[in-house]
């Protein structure tokens, strides 16, 4: 069970983000990190469906390529895909016993060191928009109360997306989702540009990018856009030295 005080802080911080100048990617990133911390999950990620109904990674507490791959492979098969298809949570799935259920996903997750996985729907009424995904390194069962709390966090993510829709002069959610999906691609392109400029891996490039954002209290989206629009400033902007 997690501490009520800590949980209250997280909810307040998320609510605070919602009324600030809202950046969906930043919000989902914060949610993934908090979810991972709160529940001792080794990794948490948020996936949203694109217009083709395919799940795409939007934010993760762990951005290593290996981990992103593990989220992304679930666009085809895995707990997130099941959760998205049925609109129901998949909890306490034992990865060592899941080869029949997910022949492609389960062995990869086990090789990466995970033993349990959960997926919670991002859902409002009858519509499912994506999934909140948690990985653990042991097969211990998630406390039923914690299960409810994670679903509450997933609901906050959904409300966050719809809230933004409401505050922006009635624009369709499509506009927000498509914009966020594309922004996620911009972040990957920025990783590549930084990696090439400094002769490092895209994973190391992301660490530089994130460190720079934290140091300067800037959203990832803004800095990624700056990397791309002003590549000449790449050296100064993100100096690995």
Partner 1 sequence: MKDSASPFDRVWALIAAEPVSSTDKPDLVGWMQRLCRAASTALPATGVGITVMSGDGDPATVAASDPHSATVEDLQFILGEGPCIDAYNTGRPVLAPDLAVAVRVRWPGYGLAAQEHGVQAAFAFPLQIGAARLGALDVYRDQPGSLSPETIIEALTFADAAMTGLLDAQQRSNENDLAPGLDEALDNRFELYQAQGMVAIQLGTGLHEAMIRIRAYAYAHNRALSDVADDIIARNIVFETDS
| List of E strands, 182-231 | none
| List of E strands, the chain | 43-49, 55-60, 90-94, 116-124, 127-136
166-185 residues in contact with partner 1 (CB under 8 A) are: 169, 171-172, 174-176, 178-179, 181-185
Question: What's the rounded Cα separation, in Å, for the pair 46 and 14?
Answer: 15
Given the rule CB under 8 A, which of 14-22, 35-43, 152-160, 227-235 is the region that contacts partner 1? 227-235
Given the rule CB under 8 A, which of 28-36, 78-86, 154-162, 164-172 is the region that contacts partner 1? 164-172
In the complex, the smallest distance separating the C-beta of residue 64 from partner 1, rounded to whole angstroms, is 11
Cα R_g (the chain), whole angstroms: 18
63-82 residues in contact with partner 1 (CB under 8 A) are: 65, 68, 72, 75-76
* Residue 201 near partner 1 by CB under 8 A: yes
Per-position DSSP letters for 168-183, written without gaps between them: TTT--HHHHHHHHHHH
Q: Rank residues 93 and 190 by Cβ distance to partner 1 and give the closer one.
A: 190
* Residue 190 near partner 1 by CB under 8 A: yes
Check: CB of residue 56 under 8 Å from CB of residue 50: yes
* Residue 25 near partner 1 by CB under 8 A: no
Question: What's the rounded Cα separation, in Å, for the pair 66 and 82?
Answer: 21
Question: What's the rounded Cα separation, in Å, for the pair 155 and 190?
Answer: 30
Q: For binding to partner 1 (CB under 8 A), which residues are involved? A: 50-52, 54, 56-57, 65, 68, 72, 75-76, 169, 171-172, 174-176, 178-179, 181-186, 188-197, 201-202, 225, 228-229, 231
């Amino acid at each position: 069970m997690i501490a009520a005080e800590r949980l209250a802080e997280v909810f307040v911080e998320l609510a605070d983000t919602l009324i600030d100048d809202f950046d969906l990617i930043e919000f989902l990133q914060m949610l993934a990190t908090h979810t991972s911390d709160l529940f001792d999950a080794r990794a948490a990620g948020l996936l949203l469906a694109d217009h083709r109904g395919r799940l795409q990674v939007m934010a993760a507490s762990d951005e290593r390529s290996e981990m992103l791959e593990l989220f992304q492979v679930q666009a085809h098969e895995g707990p997130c895909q099941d959760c998205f298809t049925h609109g129901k949570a998949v909890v306490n799935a034992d990865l060592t016993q899941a080869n029949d259920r997910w022949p492609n996903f389960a062995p990869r997750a086990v090789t990466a060191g995970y033993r349990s996985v959960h997926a919670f729907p991002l859902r409002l009424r009858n519509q499912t928009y994506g999934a909140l995904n948690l990985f653990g390194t042991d097969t211990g069962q998630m406390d039923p109360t914690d299960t409810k709390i994670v679903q509450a966090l997933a609901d906050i993510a959904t409300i966050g997306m719809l809230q933004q829709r409401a505050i922006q002069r009635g624009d369709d959610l499509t506009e927000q989702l498509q914009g966020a999906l594309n922004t996620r691609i911009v972040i990957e392109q920025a990783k590549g540009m930084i990696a090439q400029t400094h002769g490092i891996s895209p994973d190391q490039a992301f660490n530089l990018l994130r460190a720079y954002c934290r140091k300067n209290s800037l959203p990832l989206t803004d800095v990624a856009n700056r990397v791309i629009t002003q590549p000449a400033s790449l050296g100064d902007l993100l100096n690995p030295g």
